[in-house]
Chains A and B, each alone.
Chain A
């Protein structure tokens, strides 16, 4: 009964990955007529020591992930906290709140294109009413990545709010009562009771968010195409450029393996941290 499912998955995941691993040790190029040659670790060494564009994109992406997880978890917690204490009508509010997280990222990107429009967009119009001259969001190197960030935060904070809400609801009431009787309140209550209880449950949601932030591609593609200059180029977007625009599959394969490694390390480290915190 498991057979057909496993066969499809194997053919489509392990196979291509092995293929790509082999390619990453060669100099295969679609554009150049040179014969394919085994180059060992050359691609990896160039990436890690000689490719400043790659290293910049790597740093940028890591910053993007950290900031994204922090900001979205914080906002998500706030929304979950608001919803936790309104019992009536919660269902009515929850549906609309979740809409951003279930729509296509391309549509989210398209909305961004309209809203961040420097001359005709509503955002700068609102800012103008407040007496602020809004920037040319998508056209300035200082604000292009920020625009992607805001759009991503708009789209995915509701998801984290939902996960954190579920985690808050799963706290055993007796434990909270007991802690309150023992004089715990405010910050100490949060740190010693709520956090250890919520973290393991919400942790998976936060992890998925971190992984997805690391993979940010769609929004960059629609909103900025990595520009202006390379100012909003994420790692996956650069890999895409190398593979499909510069026709350099061997180099792009090496890039994607470095990403795979990084994601795995980050996820392992994070899960270890959550489990330890949760166990305390």
Chain B
């Protein structure tokens, strides 16, 4: 009995150690976002700021953070919306009528494996030609390319878990295929839709590779704002940390509320 207690205690100690290592950088960002200018250049470093400098937040928003938030939100939102709207019917067709199932699996895996740079380069040439560089539409299009297959794949998994009987009963009652999809399958897949919506939003929200290449003076998503700030001549530590903290908020929502579906989303549905 006591031996088991000791082992349990050791395990919890180890878990706490792991938590400290994993969460320390987050703590450091929070602390840094509240430090005054001088507190970044002391030895030893200031761990907890004496007087929280709240002004870092409005200041960072004024210096491009607000534009970054709006741009990131707009792009992520539209990519999410398109992926869900186009993805749901496609997923339903694949799950129920086995349309192109084999090819889809291959396609999704290969898109996930492409080094983004392999598609970014030709896309850049094409986008420049049609005027999509530095536009919202261009980035939305880019993200939809990897969000859409993801959406189809995950939703397909959810739809396959639904019992077929209800749909068959509706069919007997004379409902059309589309009616069945819209009035029966879609409402039942609501949890799947939420999972897909949040994940596709976050993929677009977090991306840097596409954002840094296809953005310009018109469109500046949040990660690009952070990178620009961080590479500037005078590094505004406090302000960047404030923006960075705002940039991780959607991810925190994901980790908190959709824990149950995290594995599924992160592994493209390979592990349920």
List the interface of chain A (C-beta within 8 A of B). 1-2, 4-6, 8-9, 12-13, 15-17, 19-20, 23, 79, 82-83, 85-86, 91, 93-115, 119-122, 125, 128, 154, 158-159, 162-163, 166-167, 201-202, 204-205, 208, 211, 214-215, 217-218, 221-222, 235-236, 239-240, 243-244, 249, 252-253, 256-257, 259-260, 263-264, 267
Instruction: List residues 70-107 of chain B with CB under 8 A from any CB of chain A.
Output: 86-87, 89-90, 92-94, 99-100, 107
Q: A104-B205, A260-B115 are in contact. Are A111 and B25 (CB under 8 A)?
A: yes
Which of B25, B125, B144, B202 has the largest count of A CB atoms less than 10 A from its CB? B25
Q: Is the CB of A97 within 8 A of B22?
A: yes
Q: Note all chain A residues with C-beta closer than 8 A to B175.
A: none
Q: Which residues of B contact A162 (CB under 8 A)?
A: 262-263, 266
Closest B residue to A104 by CB, please name it.
B206
Contact with A along B247-259 (1 / 0, CB 8 A): 1100110111001
B36 interface residue, CB < 8 Å from A?
Answer: no
Q: For A109, what are the chain B residues with a Cβ–Cβ distance below 8 Å?
A: 230
Find the A residue at minimum CB distance from B148.
A5
Given contacts A208-B267, A252-B121, contact A95 B255 (CB under 8 A): yes
Q: Is B123 an interface residue (CB 8 A)?
A: yes
Q: Report which of B116, B226, B259, B267 forms a contact with A107, defined as CB distance below 8 A.
A: B226
Nearest CB in chain A to that of B224: its residue: A106
- In the bound complex, how far is the Cα of B93 from the Cα of A104, in angstroms? 33
B233 within 8 A of A: no
Chain A residue at minimum C-beta to C-beta distance from B270: A204
Which residues 204-246 of B have a CB within 8 angstroms of A? 205-209, 212-213, 222-223, 226-227, 230, 237, 240-241, 244
Could you name 7 residue pairs across A and B whose Cβ atoms are closer than 8 Å? Answer: A2-B94, A5-B86, A107-B29, A109-B230, A202-B271, A236-B115, A243-B120
Closest CB of chain B to A28's CB: distance in Å? Answer: 9
A214 and B45 in contact (CB under 8 A), knowing A2-B99, A12-B123, A98-B259?
Answer: no
B244 touches A107 (CB 8 A): yes
In the complex, the chain B residue whose C-beta lies closest to that of A223 is: B230
Neighbouring A residues of B209 by C-beta, 8 Å: 217-218
Flag whether B111 is at the interface (Cβ < 8 A): yes
Main secondary structure, interface of A, reads helix
- Which residues of the partner chain A approach B272 to less than 8 Å between Cβ atoms? 166
Known: A82-B11, A110-B244. 11 other contacts (CB 8 A): A9-B148, A97-B22, A99-B252, A106-B223, A106-B244, A125-B44, A158-B22, A159-B266, A205-B266, A205-B270, A243-B121
B267 touches A99 (CB 8 A): no
Whether B271 and A100, one on each chain, are in contact in the complex, defined by CB atoms closer than 8 angstroms, is: no
Would A221 and B22 be within 8 Å (CB), given that A111-B28, A260-B115 are in contact? no
Beta-carbon contact of B144 and A8 below 8 Å: yes
A111 to nearest B CB, angstroms?
4
Tally of chain B residues near chain A (CB < 8 A): 92
Contacts A5-B148, A204-B270, A264-B113 given; does A104 touch B86 at CB 8 Å: no
Binding site for A on B (CB under 8 A): 8, 11-12, 14-15, 18-19, 21-26, 28-29, 32, 40-45, 47, 86-87, 89-90, 92-94, 99-100, 107, 109-126, 141-142, 144-145, 148-149, 152, 181, 202, 205-209, 212-213, 222-223, 226-227, 230, 237, 240-241, 244, 247-248, 251-252, 254-256, 259, 262-263, 266-268, 270-272
Bound-complex Cα distance A112 to B230 (A): 12
Q: How far is the CA of A240 from the CA of B270 in the complex (A)?
A: 31
**Could you tell me the distance between the alpha carbons of A253 and B123 in the complex, rounded to whole angstroms?**
12
A93 touches which of B15, B99, B148, B248 (Cβ 8 Å): B15
Given A110-B244, A204-B270, A205-B270, residue A99 in contact with residue B26 (CB < 8 A): yes
